[in-house]
Structure 1
Amino acid sequence: MKKLLPLAAALTFTLTACTAPTSDTLPAAPEESTTTQDVGSGEVRMLSAADGGIYYQTFADSEVNHEVDIGRNLVYAVEETTGLARPACNVPGCTHDSDACPAYIQGSATCYADGSEVYLYICLYKEAEHTTVFRLEKINADHTQRTCLADDLPFGWVQPIGMAADDTHLYFLTTDNYSNATMSAMLLAVSKATGDMQTLYQLDGLENGRGSTGQVTFVNLVGASGCQLYFTHSERNPDPNNYYNSAVQVWCYDLTANQCTAAQRYEVDDGTIVTPPQEVHDDYGNTYTNSGVISHSRLYYTLTGYYGSFSSGIAECDNEHGTAAVRDAATGQRTVLAENLPTTTAEYEANYSIARYHDGWLLTVDEWGRGSDGMGTGDGTSAQYFCDGSGQMTLIPQKRYAEGKGVQNIQILDIQNGQVLVIYDEQIDTRQGIDKSGTAYTYTPVWRLYGVMPLEDLLAGSIDFTPLQFIS
């Protein structure tokens, strides 16, 4: 593997109006679906699961107590300096076992923190009706009450990521299928106070991956600045064997003017064919043509927005020359995080992924072995680096053993205020059970171990994590 020589430039955050795309021809703006009422109060900002040194996540009782019975599902507030994890509930005497508890959740929830308020994007399967519903709920600032802001939200096969907020509203994208092959994407605004919801803009005719082409249009909220929201939609390559986007188009929605305009457009290069596509026969008698191995000097995608990271910005990866960079969604400003990274060759395909946290970026560099037919060989390496935007890129050397997967990177959940929250290991237990026929059997449940540590210690290679202490 090549020696890594990181270079990074400082990222300057500026409040700016929407900028025009670099091409001479402006794409048509999305279709406006409704006349909007007043939205926008104060500066709009992107949200994540973490704010003010507190990280919010749902944990089942089984994860907390390492027991087989799943039990309750509660939203916990994790103090990243101490490792203390408490239910997001300050109701005196609450047993956290009913809807009267603000932390008690049915279904799965993605948490978004805005100060001390917590917003929950909930996915719930209603068994009696054989249907899945999405809803938006709010835990108030003192964690004594949870209210439903919006119920039965539209949803499609592809769900966008990212949420933004100002003083009065929440903003996010969702999708809705209207045929087997296509879907709509809607930019929604929901009042924090009343739950009143309105569609700001709508994109129609997007491929949902289930039609004859099997291609997916990815739509994500990627930035917020001043009174502007920025979202993207990907344009798929017309070649069905090429699974990369052909371009990423950025749109700017101005909350003051209630107007949407085209901003930057980032076109993916066609790539250099390292190993040509070949006909492949699998073990089931199927024949298909693989994509071969391609290196790209310009490959764009939105930053991942899971856990404590933000879906804010656009990743620019060059696995032909070994450069990873990020683009500011509002200004298009380019910040190089690293150069001289491993590149794609006939023997190894290199991929980079980037996540942004409060304190900086996490860069993951993967190298996967490829055979002469372009198919994976099963061997490879993965490394993680912390980039603070000031010219420093530091290896995160800690690894963990994952059952059935072998040695892997530790999983970074959040980096803020000089602290990190991670899944640093797994605990494997041996349990006895009895199946429906009365026959005894042995099984091995796996529990993830969570811990916190100062970022400085993590980058120095320490493995002395402080395990989370769950207090109910």
Structure 2
Amino acid sequence: MKRISLLLASLLLLAGCTAPAQSTASAPAETAATQAPAANAGDVHMLTNRYDGGQYRTLSTPYYPDCVRKIDYATATAQSMCQISGCRHDSESCPAYGSGVFYQDGDVLLHSYRVNSDGNPDREVLSRYAPDATAAPLFTLSAHTADFDLSDDCLAADDQYYYFVASTTLIGTGPICEGSPAQIPDAAPGEPVTGEGDFLFRADKSTGELTNLADLGSVLEDTSYWYLATAGEQKLYFYGTAINDVFPLVSCYDLVSQEYTLLPEYSDKYGFFAGGYYLKPDTLQGTLTAIDPITGQSTLLTDAFPTGEDLIYTVKSFCDGWVLSYSSYDGENRVEHQFFRAPDGTLTELPQQMYCDARGSQPVYIWDIQNGMVFLQYDYRSDSYPGFDYDGNPCMWENISDVCGIIPLQDLLAGSQNYRELTYD
């Protein structure tokens, strides 16, 4: 089961470091846990794919295998996270194969990935990273759990546990998740149980033991998929939408009281989450406001955007500041303008564009900004290769891939396009 897109889901950014805020207002275990959830150890926080000086990311190119790589901003290099001599990075025997996600948890690297074996449905695995593929999974979600959201911002942690949302398709009977006491209801003879639901799980860092903490759909009927949005002060916040409503929803699970509640104050019609902040765009007033749900602090990001009902505002949050944009329809295409917002509130338009025959012109796509360096996709590359058409006749196929690189933030703000293209091992 694939997760459906939420309202303005394309606006969700890569969860990076906490952006500066200017306030203008106020080994795996399979045994089920049967006891009540204990209070968490230490404060809870989001994990990301970033480290100081770079990030871990799956990059796909026509020349190099599709695997997780360590991106170093200082050297503009992309090094495979596999260190097995002679490995081709093209099978599950490679520890970095495919489109997995890495998370930095202090000195520990976690690897989340999907496996398929012996004809069984895909299973989601979280393991501690080992460069020679010797690490055993910390936990494995069962075939009943169809989607552990493999994004860059779906995992939270405290001193003792990891927290995540798993979306399930309920078919037949049995445990929802290996190590979970949550059970799929028994079906009448000849009538398999089907259904969907999102559940909050925690995994013990030492044993991998899983506990089902909450049914996220319990706060409101007819809800669509829930996403882990942010975490802090021993609370987890989730973002979703109602199936029969256009309004987004925000809910909260308190790890101390073990209470799960809906937060109606965040049900703005056009609101969305980005980088741990709840964003309220007002295209009639030309304003963008960011609210930290953990502290309640409100930050006016801009009050100078153009106004109009056809406008769409987007936001990305990074260590060094924010990237804001607005787009409008010119009768044929949607034209987007992109800006960098410095910590002092200064807006600088970023004129850099990239072009692709299949996509037209659009702003460069910024993946990260930290320590004065920008990691971005700044071009497309088109490559032709021989193959066969659907009738078996020889033909040439075209493959379009991203071109990524590094540029100093000050150069980007000055309008430069002097990017350093990533080099691959």
Shorter-chain TM-score: which interval?
0.7 to 0.9
Q: Is the 8 A contact 1:168 1:192 kept in 2?
A: yes
Q: Secondary structure at the match of 2:336?
A: strand
Find the counterpart in structure 2 of residue 430 from structure 1: 384
Give the 5 Å matches for 1:50-449.
Answer: 50-60=50-60, 63=61, 66-67=62-63, 72-90=65-83, 93=85, 95=87, 97=89, 101-103=94-96, 105=97, 107-124=98-115, 128-129=119-120, 131-139=121-129, 145-153=134-142, 155=145, 159=149, 162-178=154-170, 183-204=196-217, 217-236=224-243, 238=245, 244-245=246-247, 247-254=248-255, 256-263=256-263, 265-268=265-268, 299-303=270-274, 310=275, 312-345=276-309, 349-369=310-330, 377-435=331-389, 439-449=393-403
**CA–CA separation in structure 1 for the residues paired with 2:95 and 2:139:** 16
Closer/same/farther in 2, CA of residues 353 and 198 from structure 1, 3 Å limit = same
Kindly state the Cα deviation for residue 330 of structure 1 after the two structures are TM-superposed.
Answer: 1.0
What is the percentage of aligned positions where both structures have the same residue? Answer: 25
2:335–2:362 Cα contact (<8 Å) kept: no
Q: Quickly say closer, same or farther: Cα 1:410–1:265, change in 2 above 3 A.
A: same
In the superposition, relative to structure 1, how do residues 344 and 332 fare at CA in structure 2: closer, same or farther (>3 Å)? same
For 1:321 and 1:158, locate their aligned partners in 2 and report how far apart those are by CA, in whole Å. Answer: 38
Matched letter for residue 441 of structure 1? C
Who is 1:24 aligned against?
none
Residues 432 and 89 from structure 1, CA distance in 2 versus in 1: closer, same or farther, beyond 3 angstroms? closer
Deviation at 1:464, TM superposition (A): 0.8
Letter of the structure 1 residue corresponding to residue 378 of structure 2 = Y
Secondary structure of the structure 2 residue equivalent to 1:378: coil
Aligned length: 374
2:67, 2:99 within 8 Å by CA — same for their partners in 1? no
2:4 corresponds in structure 1 to: none
Deviation string for 1:140-169 (max 9, x for gaps)? 5x8875431221355457958622122332
Residue number in structure 2 paired with 1:26: none
Of 7, 10, 25, 2:22 maps to 10
**Alpha-carbon distance in 1 for matches of 2:257, 2:220:** 29
TM-score, normalised with respect to structure 2: 0.77
Change (3 A) 1:222 1:447: closer
C-alpha deviation, 1:427, in angstroms: 1.6
1:19-63 CA-to-partner distances (Å, cap 9, x unmatched) read xxxxxxxxxxxxxx9744446333322122212112111235xx1
- Is contact 1:384–1:397 with CA below 8 Å preserved after alignment? yes
| Matched-pair contact (CA < 8 Å) for 1:164–1:171 | yes
Deviation at 1:9, TM superposition (A): 6.2
**SS of equivalent to 2:396:** strand
Deviations 1:62-109 (A, max 9, x none): x1xx34xxx744221110121111122456x46364656533x2x432
Question: Conserved in 2, the CA contact under 8 Å of 1:139 and 1:147?
Answer: no
CA 1:249 to 1:449, structure 2 compared with 1: closer, same or farther past 3 Å? closer
TM-aligned CA deviation for residue 462 of structure 1:
1.1
User: Any conservation in 2 of the 1:251–1:264 contact (CA below 8 Å)?
Assistant: no
Q: Is the contact between residue 235 and residue 252 of structure 2 (CA under 8 Å) also seen in structure 1?
A: no
Whole-Å Cα distance in 1 between the matches of residues 381 and 361 of structure 2? Answer: 14
RMSD (Å) for aligned C-alpha atoms: 3.4
Answer whether contact 1:119 1:139 (CA < 8 A) is retained: yes
Name the residue aligned to 2:49.
49
Post-superposition CA distance 1:144-199 (Å, at most 9, x none)? 75431221355457958622122332211122234999632211111233221111
Structure 1 CA distance, aligned partners of 2:242 and 2:229?
Answer: 16
Q: Aligned partners of 1:87, 1:40: CA distance in 2, in Å?
A: 35
Cα deviation, 1:392-418, whole Å, max 9, x if unaligned, reads 222121110123111111111112222
Gaps of 5+ in 1: 1-7, 15-32, 209-214, 239-243, 270-298, 304-309, 370-376
> For residues 134 and 36 of structure 1, what CA distance do their matches in structure 2 show?
25
Q: Distance in 1 between matches of 2:404 and 2:323?
A: 18
The code of the aligned residue for 1:398 comes to Q
Q: Is 1:455–2:409 an aligned residue pair?
A: yes
Distance 1:335 1:392, change over 3 A: same
**Which residue type is aligned with residue 386 of structure 2?**
Q
Distance 1:251 1:314 in 2: 13
Distance change in 2, residues 1:96/1:137 (3 Å): farther
As a proportion of its length, which structure holds more strand? Answer: 1
Counterpart code for 2:155 = M
Aligned to 1:374: none
Gapped runs of 5+ residues in structure 2? 1-19, 27-32, 172-192
State the TM-score, normalizing by the size of structure 1: 0.70
Question: Residue 432 of structure 1 contacts residue 441 of structure 1 at CA under 8 Å; is this kept in 2?
Answer: yes
Deviates more, 1:181-190 or 1:72-81: 181-190
